[in-house]
Amino acid sequence: MAQEPDVGTRILKALRFQSKGMTITDLSRKTGVSRNVVSHYLDILQVSGKVELRTIGRAKVYYPAQRVPLSAFLCFTRNLIIVLDESQRIVQVNDQCLNLLRRTKEDLVGKTLREVNLSVISTPEALAVIDGVEQEQILTDLSYLRDGKEHDFQMQVIPTTFDDGEKGCTLVLEEITERKRYLRNMEFLARTAMELVNLPLETDIYQYIGMRVAERVPVSRIFVNSFDEVNRQYIMRAILDREFREGLIEILGRDPVGLTFPYDALFGAPYHQTMTEVVNIQEHVFRPESEKGPFSFYDICFRQIPEELCEAILDRFNIGKFIHVGLTWQDRLFGMVGIFLAPGEDLEDRRAIESFLRQASIAIARRQTEDRLRRSEQRFREVINLSSAPASIIDAEGRYSFLNRAFTDLFGFTLTDIPTGREWFGKAFPDPVYREKVVAAWKSDLAKAGPGELRVRTFRVRCMNGNVKNIRFRPATLSDGNQYITYEETAG
């Protein structure tokens, strides 16, 4: 038994380089000490926190405890650290934690979490997690409001054994506010990208833009303008929220939605803006007076609203700051979004908002392109409809998409009668032998001719009323694959 006082040290040395751990039998063989003595010293080392026990199947496996001096851990980590005893009294707390909580050690040490009522971890949810810790550490997320801003933390509750063998736990809180904000912004951009792709045509896209920007700002005092390229002016299209809009109506004596502002005024006095400045994010401070920028709210309103009413708006809604961003894509301006903030408020998610507005600008550009195409197609159809020459359009799938009035006057058929080429051939050429000849000629000519080339043929056509007419067909393939055909009645 002379070697027993050194047994603890020999056990620790034996475990030091054993990453897979050792059983009591392994340690007995390694140290040359009986199993009973090894077991006794392992109990002492475990209570003192120098070894850890894990049960693997039916075997008890021991490992050296991964210990860091608590004083070093408290001083050099950026995380918030609170050490609790078995009764959840605060034993130690690091300076980072004291600074965030705005408390002193004298306020906290020796008191329980419930007594000190710490904003981050004295909530019922956090206390429930701490109460539930046993042998395994627990990880959970917490959040709390400070100075009107939400802070997010990830809290680890780690079972702890003190040198005297008493049990307790260590709370390690890592601030993850920026990480959470980044994830929220990515989710926001992914969601709105899908929404913009699938946004129904009848949806007011300017109102939609205002609603989504409102999700990322402290207070929903937002407007969205469109840009009228022909008349060179901004047009107020949407105002968020309802209380803000109703207050503006009361002050102005009219609904501000629909107001126009001269775009070209930006490039003259007093603004002297460049195109780059117009489209990029800008901030203008009105209050407090000591931080006031070069432009007043009266200037920002293009001096279109009386100065006294501008001051009344600032007072009514406690506006201290104005931020605006251009709706732009590929050097084209589609409008502007304005955000009003109270003195001291800031726009934290600027990059996410700018990215969303680029997405929205692309959606507006796509809408405008589609609208121009629709109007161009409508004009084309109106011109054909007014023409005295019978005409039709057949799409690439063989469906009639348009018959002008002259076509119906000549043949008597409407789109309901001949929705596809198959119905047309069946009714216009009822004789199957003759119809086969006509279809073969149509297919042969179509295969040989290129886009824009006329394929002139004359066939006998049976009309809706049963009359048969000689018709000269002039079909041509358009660049989009559709067939444009004109018809002329000829002498038999």
Instruction: Answer for the pair 391, 409: CB distance below 8 angstroms, yes or no.
Output: no
Largest CA distance in the chain: 133
Same domain, 233 and 312: yes
Same domain, 113 and 169: yes
Q: What is the pLDDT of residue 430?
A: 94
Same domain, 302 and 216: yes
Is the model's pLDDT at 135 over the cut of 70?
no
Place of tokens 């969303």: 356
Residues near 483 by Cβ (< 8 Å), separated by ≥ 6?
393, 394, 475, 476, 477
Q: Does a cis peptide bond (omega within 30 degrees of 0) precede residue 451?
A: no
Summarised one tens digit per residue, pLDDT across range 390-409 is 999 999 899 999 999 999 99
Q: Does a cis peptide bond (omega within 30 degrees of 0) precede residue 200?
A: no
Q: End of a domain among 34, 64, 94?
A: 64
Q: What is the pLDDT of residue 257?
A: 95
Least confidently predicted of 13-27, 132-146, 170-184, 461-475: 132-146
> Is 195 part of any domain?
yes
Q: How far is CA 402 from CA 98, 162, 392, 407, 417, in A?
A: 77, 87, 5, 10, 12
Is the model's pLDDT at 52 over the cut of 60?
yes
Is the model's pLDDT at 184 over the cut of 70?
yes
- For 96, half-sphere exposure in the C-beta direction (CA atoms, 13 angstrom radius) is 14
**Structural domain of residue 246, as residue ranges?**
182-370
Handedness of CA 254, 260, 266, 269 (dihedral sign): negative
Length of the chain: 492
| 3-state SS assignment for residue 296 | coil
Instruction: Answer for the pair 463, 469: CB distance below 8 angstroms, yes or no.
Output: yes
Q: What is the pLDDT of residue 3?
A: 45
Same domain, 142 and 49: no
The pLDDT mean for the chain works out to 88
The amino acid occupying position 82 is I
> Is 258 part of any domain?
yes
Per-residue pLDDT, averaged over 137-151, amounts to 80
Per-residue pLDDT, averaged over 231-235, amounts to 94
Same domain, 157 and 187: no
Same domain, 56 and 99: no
Same domain, 80 and 46: no
Q: End of a domain among 150, 175, 200?
A: 175
Specify which of 85-94, 196-205, 268-277 reaches the highest per-range mean pLDDT.
196-205
DSSP lists the bridge partners of residue 332 as 329
Q: What is the pLDDT of residue 377?
A: 85
Is the model's pLDDT at 349 over the cut of 60?
yes
How far is Cα 336 from Cα 278, in angstroms, rounded to an integer? 9
Percent of the chain with pLDDT over 90: 47
Please report which residue ranges of 301-349 form alpha helices under DSSP H.
Answer: 307-317
Q: What is the pLDDT of residue 71?
A: 55
Q: What is the pLDDT of residue 163?
A: 66
> Is 39 part of any domain?
yes
User: If phi over 0 gives left and psi between -120 and 50 gives alpha, with beta otherwise, what is residue 101?
Assistant: alpha
Instruction: Report the domain count for the chain.
Output: 4
pTM summary value: 0.67
How far is Cα 64 from Cα 19, in angstroms, rounded to an integer? 9
> Is 378 part of any domain?
no
Q: Are strands 332-341 and 321-329 parallel, antiparallel or unpaired?
A: antiparallel
Is the model's pLDDT at 149 over the cut of 90?
no
Summarised one tens digit per residue, pLDDT across range 101-126 is 888 888 898 898 888 888 788 888 88
Per-residue pLDDT, averaged over 376-393, amounts to 90
| 3-state SS assignment for residue 425 | helix
The amino acid occupying position 192 is T
Same domain, 56 and 108: no
Summarised one tens digit per residue, pLDDT across range 58-90 is 888 998 876 555 555 555 577 888 888 888 888
Is the model's pLDDT at 237 over the cut of 90?
yes
Domain at 27, CATH number: 1.10.10.10
Q: What is the pLDDT of residue 20?
A: 84
> Is 19 part of any domain?
yes
Specify which of 149-163, 195-209, 277-291 reaches the highest per-range mean pLDDT.
195-209
Burial 270-308 (b: 16+ CB within 10 A, else e): ebeeeeeebbebbebbbbeeeeeeeebbbebbbeebeee
> Is 154 part of any domain?
yes
Same domain, 286 and 191: yes
How far is Cα 485 from Cα 475, in angstroms, rounded to an integer? 4
Q: End of a domain among 304, 336, 370?
A: 370
Percent of the chain with pLDDT over 70: 95
Per-residue pLDDT, averaged over 14-35, amounts to 88
Q: What is the pLDDT of residue 68?
A: 53
Please report which residue ranges of 319-416 form alpha helices under DSSP H.
Answer: 350-386, 405-411
Domain at 100, CATH number: 3.30.450.20
Among candidates 138, 129, 53, which has minimal Cα distance to 88?
Answer: 129
Same domain, 188 and 312: yes
Q: Provide the token pair at 450.
A: 């290129």
Domain at 260, CATH number: 3.30.450.40
Same domain, 292 and 324: yes
> Is 377 part of any domain?
no
Q: What is the pLDDT of residue 50?
A: 80
Same domain, 59 and 192: no
Instruction: Answer for the pair 468, 460: CB distance below 8 angstroms, yes or no.
Output: yes
Is the model's pLDDT at 5 over the cut of 80?
no
> Is 27 part of any domain?
yes
Between 299 and 218, residue with greater pLDDT: 299
